[in-house]
Amino acid sequence: MKLIDFNEFIPFETIRTKLGIPKNCDITYDSSTEFQEVEFEKNSEWVKRLIGEGQDIKSLDELTVNRDKTLEYRGKKIILYIRDQYSYKTQYKYHVAWCETLQKMSLSKRLNRYVVSRRTDGTFIANILDKETHKPIEENIERKLGICKNCLKTLNYNGYTDVIQIQKNKIYKAFNIKEFLNQYDTEFKQIPKYTDLTSPLNEYADNWSEIARDYKRYKNWTCEECGEVFFNNPQMLDVHHIDGSKYNNSYSNLRVLCKKCHAKQPYHEHYKKLIKI
């Protein structure tokens, strides 16, 4: 397609008049530029992901369960949810981990009810079906879903399994998909992330003291092992790297531990001697 002829374009004439440019003034422009029209297929994978419509899992072999129990599809952390739902009243849940619920669905051969999504606002495209006829009552409606509590338990997300019910409810209500993906998208895969040539030195980051302080504050100065609070005695708290890699400062790889609990971690025998000293 070509640019319009501005000599015949009324809005252009109006602007020229307001600017006081005489009609006989020579104005040069190029209207010969060609633009290629691009059309996307209505049901293309790209469009479905863009608008947040769930994408059917073509093969369960493409669904990967990582070491940290998060879910991946074609190399990306993803969310699973049931798109074809049978109730307006019940709030369906979405899943971010290989939790007890998904394992049961897999054993009962019902995992194909789920679709893949990367939508981050907690609202998903759903179809509401009649329970008796199984025919759609409404299609492609946006519906607010909640995070699966079994997923929070599986991941021990923000210490979910270690706190009382009131705090569990707070973690559940505060769950944010964007925050979750920001934490877990950087996680190690099931295969090593580095080679012998690319692996960084296993040393602390230059700003490690700042990272550790921020994470202790994020965990409310509480030991994630024994539950004791050290708000008034923060020097008794350490930040532990779960996988032993001091450069892997993803929040999912960190734990706030008091010095006694830190010394009980695997391969930390030397730390017990340091505490005694």
Q: Which domain CATH number covers 205?
A: 1.10.30
- Residue at a domain's end among 122, 139, 166: 166
| pLDDT surpassing 90 at residue 146 | yes
Exposure string of 155-189, with b = 16+ CB inside 10 Å and e = fewer, is: bebbbbeebeeeebeebeeebebeebbebbeebbe
| Structure-model confidence comparison of residues 198 and 108, the more confident one | 108
Last residue of a domain, one of 114, 142, 166: 166
Asked whether residue 96 is domain-assigned, the answer is yes
Per DSSP (E only), the strands in 136-248 are 136-144, 146-147, 237-241
Range of the domain at 112: 45-166
Residues 131 and 50 grouped into a single domain: yes
Question: Looking at the 3D structure of the chain, how many domains does it have?
Answer: 2
| Whole-model pTM over 0.85 | no
pLDDT in tens, 55-107: 655 556 678 888 889 998 877 788 999 989 987 778 899 999 999 999 998 88
Q: What is the mean pLDDT of the chain?
A: 79
Task: Specify the 3-state DSSP secondary structure of 35.
Answer: coil
Mean pLDDT on 191-211: 69
Does residue 134 sit in the same domain as residue 50? yes
- Residue 110 sits at φ, ψ, to 5 deg, of -115, 15
Question: Cα(247)–Cα(241) distance, rounded to whole angstroms?
Answer: 9
Residues 57 and 161 in one domain: yes
Return d(Cα 78, Cα 70) in angstroms, integer. Answer: 8
User: DSSP characters for 101-141?
Assistant: HHHHHHHTT-GGGEEEE---SSEEEEEEE-TTT--EEEEEE
Do 159 and 208 reside in the same domain of the chain? no
Look at residue 32 and tell me whether its pLDDT is greater than 80: no
Domain shared by 127 and 223, yes or no: no
Give the residue with greater pLDDT, 185 vs 230.
Answer: 230
Looking at residues 183-212, what average pLDDT do you find?
Answer: 66
